[in-house]
Chain A
Amino acid sequence: MAFIPLFGYTPDPAGAEAFVASLPHPTLAEAGPGLQAAKHDVSLSELLLQCMPSWKRGSQPIGSCVGWGTAMAVDCLAAADILLRREPEVWGGLCVPGVVYGLSRVEARGQSRNMGGDGSTGFHAAKAIRDFGTLHFGQNYGGTVYASPLSGTQEKALGRDGLPADLEPYAAKHQVAEVTLVRSFEDCAKAISNGYPVFLCSMRGFSMRFADRGSLGGGWLTPAGTWAHCMMACDLRWDRPALLVPNSWGDCYDGPVDERLPKSLQRSAGWVDAEVIDGMCKGGDSYAVAGFSGFAPSLMPEAGWLKGVL
């Protein structure tokens, strides 16, 4: 399979710790003391696909994984807000990963430019979506429309210069109200069970070939090597406790897939065992997200729409 495995997570444990300490609810236990993990399997990706049946995982063009992992967490959160929590919102398109990436490198760091190499951190991405917001594909922002995946050049520019000032007010309309540290598989399971996806920033690498676990099916990721990488987790299973972790490399995985997953996830996401998730969270830079300010529904005319018929 031809793809370039781009990463882009640049860990900063001290910075992450300081950020988490600054949160009103630093940990999931404090953010949602009453949250319980479901006893059944949970799929937030299913909600995403209901909102956007044509969904397909793209490929990060540069070391912007932090933007891609975080953006997909926002997408699943938006879908859960609409379909699970029945918030009066509509689907507004996919969150633009390059914008999250740019905001995390420039605005969230209080800089006007970032001339460093590719990459960002989980806590800066968390700060970006909470304090500066998100932009979405297909929306018209005063004449600027992100119609298709951004090129590497576009993502580089965002990572260097941040979001153009005239677009910042649009992004501010779609912020995530709360980000909170997840410290274990149990935390992630509680968050996902309640419709709050997580993004995982860690050094954990995996084999690019799925393992088949007999009656549990294929699609299992085997830990291997080191990836300074950000991904997200959206689904939960209990037959062998694990989370479904989509990558941001398109249909990148080889080997036996989990046939029960939708086609669009079969080769772009894999199941990661609970103890491996525990290890990924140990880095202290993985977050659950909650409270997306979504898109107000457009209204159809209440009267006159049957003129010419009745």
Chain B
Amino acid sequence: MSVWVRIVVACALGYVAVCGVPSLPLQPVSPAASVEVETPGADMQAIVEPVARSIRSLPAGDRLLWAHVWSKAAVVVEGDAVATEVAFTDTRSLRAFTTLALDIAWRRIGENVPGSNEALRTATEAAYVKALGAATVPVTADVRKAYAEFARAMAWAGMNRG
């Protein structure tokens, strides 16, 4: 330890001896360990049930990540076409957004290996098609609403049923 470092440490200790331990600023609250989502209706619960089943065995952190992705996807889609130029013009663009969101969150950030849970993939694809169909149609307010409802149910499946 150099002389200067010793002097700085001595000064710091002297300050504490005279003035006491300085009060430290409060640390920011850690990110929520759960995602608050309302319980979906019975029909939607039935649609996401296979997803819940396939995610149940995953670590809690992954299930939390899953819930976060879907609940945020709901917020994004619900907020489209409010005050800015519409981003999601047809259901093809909605599906592209969903794929990208899962790719970033689940594969890249969550470091989940694609193909490691085939049941989750097939259940997610099937649930999506059941809820939103496979036809390329314009995204209307009703479609946005249906998407948000489905995405929240997917989040609920991860948190509450997974």
Contact = CB atoms under 8 A, between A and B. Distances in A.
Interface of A: 50-51, 53, 82-83, 88, 90-91, 297-310
18 contacts: A50-B140, A82-B137, A90-B136, A90-B138, A297-B135, A297-B137, A298-B135, A300-B91, A300-B136, A301-B134, A303-B122, A304-B125, A306-B102, A307-B115, A308-B103, A308-B114, A309-B103, A310-B117
Contacts of A309: 99, 102-103, 106-107, 114, 121
Interface of B: 86, 89-92, 95, 99, 102-103, 106-107, 112, 114-115, 117, 120-122, 124-126, 129, 134-138, 140
B138 A82 contact: yes
A306 B134 contact: no
B114 A300 contact: no
A301 B126 CA distance: 11
Contacts of A297: 135-137
Given A299-B136, A300-B92, 9 more contacts: A50-B138, A300-B134, A303-B125, A305-B125, A306-B121, A306-B124, A309-B106, A309-B121, A310-B106
B59 to A, nearest CB: 16
Contacts of B86: 53
A306 B137 contact: no
B131 to A, nearest CB: 12
B107 to A, nearest CB: 6
Nearest to B116: A310
A91 B102 CA distance: 29
A53 B89 CA distance: 9
